[in-house]
Structures are given as C-alpha cells and as structure tokens.
Amino acid sequence: MSPLDTVFERELWARGKTPAGLDEAGRGPLAGPVVAAAVILPSDFINNGINDSKKLSPRKRELLCEEIKRSALAVGIGVVEPVDIDRLNILKASLLAMETAVYKLTRKPDYLLIDGNQRISLLIPQETLVKGDSRCCSIAAASIVAKVTRDSIMDVYHELYPEYNFIKHKGYPTREHMEIIKKIGPCPIHRKTFRGVL
C-alpha cells in the first residue's frame, strides 16, 4: 500500500492557493459524536505513509496522526454530539462538523478538498472527491485525524459507560453492541433516531 500522492494539492499550490483537506469519522455508529477534521499540509510535504484511515491499523493511525499534527500548517477539528445528530440528521451533522473544523483552522484556506459528494455552506471555493480519502493526501490526513480523535472520545465514554464496551466497537453496530442495547437499553450518548437504538 503506497502512500498517497499530493497531486491535487500541488496543482492548487502552483496556483498560489492554500488547500485544506476535509473528512469525517463516525457517520455509521449508533453512539457517540461525528467528528470532522480539516488539514492544511505544507507545499513541500513528503508523505511517509498517509492513506485512507480505514486501511491503517489503530497504532499506525495514531503514529501518523501525531506526525500530521507536527507537520501540518494547521489542523482543525469539529465535533457534533449525538443530541444534535438526532436533531439535524447525520448528513447535516457531518457537514456541520466539517464547517466547524474549517472555522477551527488557525490559517485560512483558499480552497477546500472534501471527501464525498456533498459541499459545505462556506464561501470558500471547494471540490468534492468521491473516495477522496484514498485519492488525496490532505483528505486522507484529515480522515486519520478525525478517526483518531473520535476513537479517543469513545475511549473516554467507555470509562463512563463501561457496560457498553465502547472501547472495543467505538459505538458501531456490531452484534455485541446490538445485544447490549437490547438487554439494557441505550445510554445518554446513543443516537435515538438510529434504527436499533430504541
């Protein structure tokens, strides 16, 4: 598995633009927040292993996350909690998390490279890339930061609600998780509008 090229970023850097890659983690779980990240990589960035977070081991993701935070010009993170996911729906919540991640950047991007096919409602030029996390280095970097951040949040929730074993499944609808919900019901961080929770 070779590291992703920065071809999308290089084209923008050559035009004098500062691109930020955006991705989210946590659309599918039954519990916990959806988390998005925005990452601005430097124009001379050399990729030492960044790829789609789903293709990496947890340990590799954690190591790369630290490297991304050290190397990036800016990293922003957006978190939307379960109560707001239930209020908005998961798509709108995911887009809100991405918008928040861009607001949290300490450097203003000129262009957004967004994983998926949905644009966000910021007045910044943007391009959506289906499967962007396996095509674009800064989107893949954002996918790693979002995933590692969300996993760490779920590890904290495991301490609060150990009976759900969030440390293992991170809120995703595994057979074990579904059986626990059936047995003892949902807890405060479950998404009440998701099938299988109530």
- Side-by-side strand order, sheet with 126-129: 74-80, 34-40, 19-25, 111-115, 126-129
Residues 6+ apart with CB under 8 A from 109: 18, 19, 20, 38, 40, 102, 124
The full set of domains in the chain, from first to last, is: 7-156 (3.30.420.10)
Q: What is the mean pLDDT of residues 114-123?
A: 97
Residues 6+ apart with CB under 8 A from 175: none
Q: Per-residue pLDDT for 175 more than 80?
A: yes
**pLDDT at residue 1, as a whole number:** 55
**pLDDT at residue 150, as a whole number:** 98
In the block, residue with structure tokens 């630290």: 66
Please name the residue ranges forming H helices in the chain: 7-14, 58-71, 82-88, 90-103, 137-160, 166-169, 175-184
Give the mean pLDDT of the chain.
96
DSSP 2-25: PPPP-HHHHHHHHTT--EEEEEEE
> pTM for this one?
0.97
pLDDT band at 112 (very low <50, low <70, confident <90, very high): very high
**pLDDT at residue 48, as a whole number:** 85
pLDDT band at 176 (very low <50, low <70, confident <90, very high): very high
CA distance 53 to 65: 10
Can you name the residues that pair with 82 across neighbouring β-strands? none
Q: Per-residue pLDDT for 40 more than 90?
A: yes
